[in-house]
Structure 1
């Protein structure tokens, strides 16, 4: 299959939305022995919106809201535990094992950058699958292969990619993000082609019997 340019979309790897989590917490509090808060019967709708906006402004998690040393500690903590957070997360790509995620966190300084790297890998997988479906009417890209061969291959290709980034001459790789996309896209394309070729050979052998 041919390779294409990187998709600039991003991946939301959270298992549940913030609203779902918020609703569950609210429900749990209402069923507890804590005294319930009063209603907003005497408040106008516009006043309620103002109060909500005021409360929301207090919840500012931007890095600009914290001293640099605190931001560094926050980033280090999130990166340190990213592998355990995403392992088993239904929203995370199943072909990325903990070793791959831990490897990614070694090479990126912020959680945003690490998530963007994962997004690039997912985009490459989705584009590869889409092209396969256009060509053969279905796809053979199995994320959960029985022997975890794909996961090990992704880890190996990631290490090769980071080694290339470290050893490349200045200006040799103009866009590291696109280079990662092409590396992963070629990996997924080859994976699918190998599966299809093996299946074709198996069917041919069965027909000869």
Structure 2
């Protein structure tokens, strides 16, 4: 069950007010969303959603959607977001949750309106982007071009020091080629490395939003991470999923006489079904092992 929405945001939430909206309206993509350290892990869809929601501020002013404190709000339902990005309701909610988690979106639940006889839709508030002097852009290989600060104010001395540090990257010489083979690490180090890789697999194996390295939902990888002990096991289990996909395509082709390709990126319901099937399989395997029943091949069983 989701936690109820807070009635008020924290004291650092930077509302757009009626006096500062017009001067800030634009549909250009703010570079801090792409380069800023704070927003790096936002999915591409969440970043684009921020821009779409920001564009709604002008519409809000035309409709006088300004609360008693002068904060501009807007109404953007999950259905509108689903229609805009042609996505499921789950993904629309996930996008809003992403923005809320970084303090970019605040949703205020409204009460029943006796005049209309309906529950009023949530009021959505957008926060201004948090731009710091440390949000610099490294362009070109190894950041050879000048580091540019996003902030309009700040210490020029700090900027010079930062630029000096960045320029030192050009003169760095690699004196020893790294060797990442397991034999170069102690058993304790390897265990920590494995734990880190497995724990964070949902982040680096499945990029949130678009451009996924592996076309599986993060929940699938998160589930696998609870049942494997090494990155190799993770890789092997993912391989089982794609071998099953290949066999399914071959079976369909034999039945229909037509070649078929299952595109997992476009099949959210199928991805959910894969996660559920894995969960049932792991549950069944645990029961079998607890009863000391023989399992000839875990790979074939999965």
Same fold (TM over 0.5): yes
Structure 1, residues 68-88: CA drift from partner, whole Å, max 9, x if none? Answer: 111111111111110011223
> In 2, distance between residues paired with 1:35 and 1:176?
52
Alpha carbons of 1:157 and 1:107: their partners in 2 closer, same or farther (altered >3 Å)?
Answer: same
Superposition TM-score, scaled by structure 1 size: 0.55
> In 2, distance between residues paired with 1:80 and 1:162?
18
Q: Give the alignment partner of residue 138 of structure 1, picking from 259, 263, 270.
A: 259
Q: Give the alignment partner of residue 231 of structure 2, picking from 111, 128, 132.
A: 111
Counterpart contact for 1:30–1:36, Cα < 8 Å: no
Q: Give 1:129 shift.
A: 1.1
Superposition TM-score, scaled by structure 2 size: 0.39
Q: Give the alignment partner of residue 28 of structure 1, picking from 141, 144, 148.
A: 141
Unaligned runs of 5+ in 1: 1-26, 38-53, 181-209
Structure of higher CA gyration radius: 2
Structure 1, residues 22-54: CA drift from partner, whole Å, max 9, x if none? Answer: xxxxx71495652497xxxxxxxxxxxxxxxx9
> In 2, distance between residues paired with 1:36 and 1:167?
56
Instruction: Give the structure with the larger helix fraction.
Output: 1
Instruction: Give the structure with the larger strand fraction.
Output: 2
Whose RCO is larger (CA < 8 A, sep 6+)?
1
**Paired position in structure 2 for 1:75:** 194
Provide the aligned length of Structure 1 versus Structure 2. Answer: 135
Alpha carbons of 1:28 and 1:159: their partners in 2 closer, same or farther (altered >3 Å)?
Answer: same
Q: Give the alignment partner of residue 101 of structure 1, picking from 206, 221, 228.
A: 221
**Paired position in structure 2 for 1:165:** 285
Secondary structure of the structure 1 residue equivalent to 2:229: coil
- RMSD over aligned CA atoms reads 2.9
